[in-house]
Structure 1
Amino acid sequence: MSELSPSSEPAILRRAVSDAENRAASRRWWDTDADGYQEAHGSFLGDVDLVWCPEGLREEDARLLGKVKGARVLEIGCGAAAGSRWLDGQGADVTALDLSDGMLRHAKLAAERSGVYVPLVQADALALPFRDGTFDIAHTAFGAVPFITDTAALMREVFRVLRPGGAWVFATYHPMRWIFLDEPGETGLMAVNCYFDRRPYVEQDAAGVPTYVEQHRTFGDRVRELAAAGFVLCDVVEPEWPKGHEEIWGQWSPMRGRLFPGTAIFVARRPDAS
């Protein structure tokens, strides 16, 4: 869920939103929140690193993407593109994509700080501006997937731009998080929401215009979306909260992290042509 400033008092509810409302809210939110997000989390994510989740799992250790040297890699919802810059250093041919101009502005600033430049593309994840079979690997760490109304269409679009045998790895909120209150403390241990309620979490302004939208899918939904798109699901990683990690990130906290997972990382592959 979003991290609100003390002065923010939006209406918060669960309700249906149109695809147009959802896209507009996501773009406005991330354009407006880019500075605050990077100030809060930029040091944790780094300028040249692929950190999958608030638990701190790093691709350097997990190697979920497999062999990346020489691979054409697309990062969807790249934010400040730290992951793409790290992959560039591993010998990958990287393209970083995001809907938000504000986040891509930070990607440019981080490139200047680090001296690592990768191609940046501003585009909608549901209309990837690439030919079929362009990439060997596609990935995202909490980009796009939690914020798109039709994630089944996203899976199909990623499948389209991957070559046969290509990998699709995405980190998103663990589906079971939906049943708990969005708090890092003890109140966040109370199960109050229906796991099967797929209406999105919506924050809206006084005029009823959505300002932030987050979508929920069950574990079964995710598996069916991947299968329907043609992917083979290879693994689901549920990172454990590491000892000594005391940083609180939104609803992620050491207390909650010791009891149940906050992140699910789906590792899938487009089947080989054979």
Structure 2
Amino acid sequence: MRIQRTNDPQDEQLFDGPANRAAQPKTHHDFGPWFHNLHLPDGDQTSPRHPMGDYPASAWAKIRRALPESLEDWSVLNVGCNGGYFCLELAALGARVLGCDRDPHCVHQAQWAAEQFGLSDRIKFRQMHVYEIARSAERYDLVLFMGAFYELRYPALALDIMAERADKTLIFQPFSSISPFKNQNSAPMQLSTLEGLGFEVSSMGQDEIFICQRHPDSSALPQAWDPQCAAEIAAAVGPRYHRIERPARPLKN
């Protein structure tokens, strides 16, 4: 089946059924090259000689410790999902997951992987750009925004959009320079930005993984939802921008 643009108001391509190709490939080699090293049910690995080691399993080990034991009834958005590793892990914990990537090659990889693990009923994939998410009214308990920030032309705008859609938790990995772990100014700058968006950073790893929890008090109203800032986002992403309204809650005594 040839993939075509949908009539969805978001104008995205949706990958949520059986493989969208005339003949479904039988092995991961048909989908190569892979950036995510998946340990497949048959024992094969998709990228066993990954330059970063067993990635992203190494990053997931840090993230997993910050999440509840079960994500049943949680909704999750994974932006820049690539080959789908994080989508698979989150779905295995019980979450309903939407994985987005602008690269159709990655989306096909991720969809195929979900089928191999028997998780297609819990994960949907869309080929769309990060800025297009601003046109959707969907909100999520958890937003995973990793490995895409540094590639964007307008990264601050993308972070505003992701923060607006995270109801409980935002997991953010900026990779803010060519050698991010050697940039001593990067972490304080990102920390300040995330706090300004209404989050408490509960964990910050050496590999720039920020675990952020939504601040409960109205005094921490995110700057992205200030009317002036909302107007700026709308001007940037176009007239179909869907602002997420959050009523202010009284401060706790």
Distance (Å, rounded) in 1 between the aligned partners of 2:132 and 2:174: 20
**Does 1:269 find its partner at 2:237?**
no
CA displacement at 1:236 relative to structure 2: 0.1
CA displacement at 1:90 relative to structure 2: 1.2
Number of the residue aligned with 1:146: 150
Asked whether the equivalents of residues 152 and 226 of structure 1 are also in contact (C-alpha less than 8 Å), the reply is no
**Amino acid across the alignment from 1:168:** L
Tell me the alpha carbon deviations over residues 80-116 of structure 1, each in whole angstroms, 9 at most, x when there is no partner: 2122122212111111111111100111221232222
Compute the TM-score of the two structures, normalised by the length of structure 1: 0.54
1:1-274 maps to which residues of 2 (within 5 A)? 35-38=32-35, 41-43=37-39, 56-59=58-61, 62-66=64-68, 67-117=70-120, 118-128=123-133, 129-131=135-137, 134-142=139-147, 144-163=148-167, 166-173=168-175, 177-178=179-180, 195=183, 218-238=186-206, 263-272=207-216, 273-274=249-250
Asked whether the equivalents of residues 175 and 219 of structure 1 are also in contact (C-alpha less than 8 Å), the reply is no
**Amino acid across the alignment from 1:35:** G
Distance (Å, rounded) in 1 between the aligned partners of 2:45 and 2:111: 14
**Amino acid across the alignment from 1:160:** E
**Amino acid across the alignment from 2:155:** T
Distance (Å, rounded) in 1 between the aligned partners of 2:54 and 2:190: 18
Give RMSD over aligned pairs. 3.4
**Amino acid across the alignment from 1:37:** W
Runs of at least 5 residues in structure 2 that lack an aligned partner in the other structure: 1-30, 47-52, 217-248
Distance (Å, rounded) in 2 between the aligned partners of 1:64 and 1:179: 21
Compute the TM-score of the two structures, normalised by the length of structure 2: 0.58
Tell me the alpha carbon deviations over residues 194-252 of structure 1, each in whole angstroms, 9 at most, x when there is no partner: x59xxxxxxxxxxxxxxxxxxxx8223212321232222222022xxxxxxxxxxxxxx
Count of paired positions: 175
CA displacement at 1:178 relative to structure 2: 4.6
CA distance 1:46–1:167, shift in 2 (3 Å): farther
**Amino acid across the alignment from 2:126:** V
Runs of at least 5 residues in structure 1 that lack an aligned partner in the other structure: 1-33, 181-194, 197-216, 239-262
What secondary structure sits across from 2:110 in the alignment?
A: helix
CA distance 1:136–1:69, shift in 2 (3 Å): same
Asked whether the equivalents of residues 204 and 211 of structure 2 are also in contact (C-alpha less than 8 Å), the reply is yes
CA distance 1:179–1:268, shift in 2 (3 Å): closer
Q: Which moved more, 1:85-94 or 1:225-234?
A: 225-234
CA displacement at 1:141 relative to structure 2: 3.8
CA displacement at 1:179 relative to structure 2: 8.2
Distance (Å, rounded) in 2 between the aligned partners of 1:267 and 1:179: 17
